Amino acid sequence: MAPRTWVILSDKRGDNGQVDTIVDALPWPVEHKYVHMLPAYVLGKPRYRPSLDHLDLSQSDPIEGPWPDLILTVGRRPSMVALWVRKQSGERTKIVLIGKPSGYMLDFSLVVASAENQMPPMHNFLPTTLPLMRVDAQDVAVEAQAWQERFAPLDKPLIAMLIGGETNPFIMNRQVADDLVATAHWIVDDLGGTPYVTTSRRTTPEVIEVLRKDLPPQAVFYQWSVDSEENPYRALLGSADGFIVTADSVSMMVEVIYLHKPLAIFPLPGGWLGSADQQRRSLAHWLFNPRQASAWDRWRHRMARGVYYLDVFKLLCATRDFRAFHRLLVEQGLAVWSGEPFRQPEARLPDDVGAVVKRIEALFP
């Protein structure tokens, strides 16, 4: 008999897409529960605990019995709802959390997180290579068709330069802006192509100003704006011959990879504080990813599990190592470094979704 399954989601489309990717692969039906936050908690973080106090119950789907056997969820706020439901069920409900937990890993029956997340190798943790994101290839194709006349006159190859922004441990300063300009000139002078440069919500004003002033005349520059009605991003996903993505933007890298397009990673500096913080992230990666090929690796695996109980302030157990993720993509043939020749990815993508479904099924022997 199939377990009664709820999917508890909020308004974050990217997060929701990861859960729905799993839902589509499950061999049994599910019931979706969409929850909406009170105004104070749309951006503000509620204290993490089993609770419905942060919800706007008048706008949310009913959260009431009969209680489910299984909940799939993602994110801090929906996972608090899942924990509350489990409490009402007499601790019977099993919870599968997608992504890094805000609380303790062992609060959940299964935690699924992609390779940039550094998590202790506990018994309930399943790492995946890539985030379980969805890319609607049909939607991308429609956008590409709509922009075809605008892209047609541009010299080929058309190279999309997707610029993110500052996020710990990375910084974006004048040197980064100058390096981006140099990369655009390389596309024009060495490849004979067109750099199509797009910024994002997080791109710093200093970088935007330098790009606007110093990009080669052959470049096309799009500055992100909340009021813009014509963002070329999805059209570029379907039309560009190659992509250069700044190191902070995991989601954009993953979308390119899922579309089997050539990807180059543009490294970003960390500044003195970010460089120091990278040591913490690198330590977490070293500690939590033993290959168990030797007695030393097996000892490190046991030590990593012990750190989970000692790391009260989550200095190691709730961090991300972007640089390790970049190296993984390059080692697996899914990306190159910016400035290297573009390469059509030949590596087969891992069946992460299949592995997740098997682990979920194993929760109900």
Please report, in tens digits, the pLDDT of each residue of the chain (365 residues total): 899 999 999 988 778 999 999 999 999 999 999 999 999 998 899 999 999 999 999 999 999 999 999 999 999 999 999 999 999 999 999 999 999 998 789 999 999 999 999 999 999 999 999 999 878 899 999 999 999 999 999 999 999 999 999 988 999 999 999 999 999 999 999 999 999 999 998 999 999 999 999 999 999 999 998 888 889 999 999 999 999 999 999 999 999 999 999 999 999 998 888 888 999 999 999 999 866 678 888 888 888 888 888 887 788 887 899 999 999 999 999 999 999 999 998 778 889 999 999 999 999 99
CA-based R_g, the chain, Å = 22
Q: How does DSSP classify residue 269?
A: -
Say if 5-129+353-362 and 137-266 have the same CATH topology. Answer: yes
Q: Would you list the domain boundaries of the chain?
A: 5-129+353-362, 137-266
Structure-token pair, residue 53:
């106090």
Report field, pTM of the whole predicted structure over 0.85: yes
Q: CATH class for domain 5-129+353-362?
A: alpha beta
Structure-token pair, residue 116:
């940039």
When the candidates are 1.10.230.10, 3.40.50.2000, 3.30.70.120, 3.30.1490.20, the CATH number that belongs to 137-266 is 3.40.50.2000
DSSP-based three-state secondary structure for 327: helix
Q: How does DSSP classify residue 106?
A: G
Q: Which stretches of 209-266 are assigned E, i.e. beta strand?
A: 220-222, 242-246, 263-266
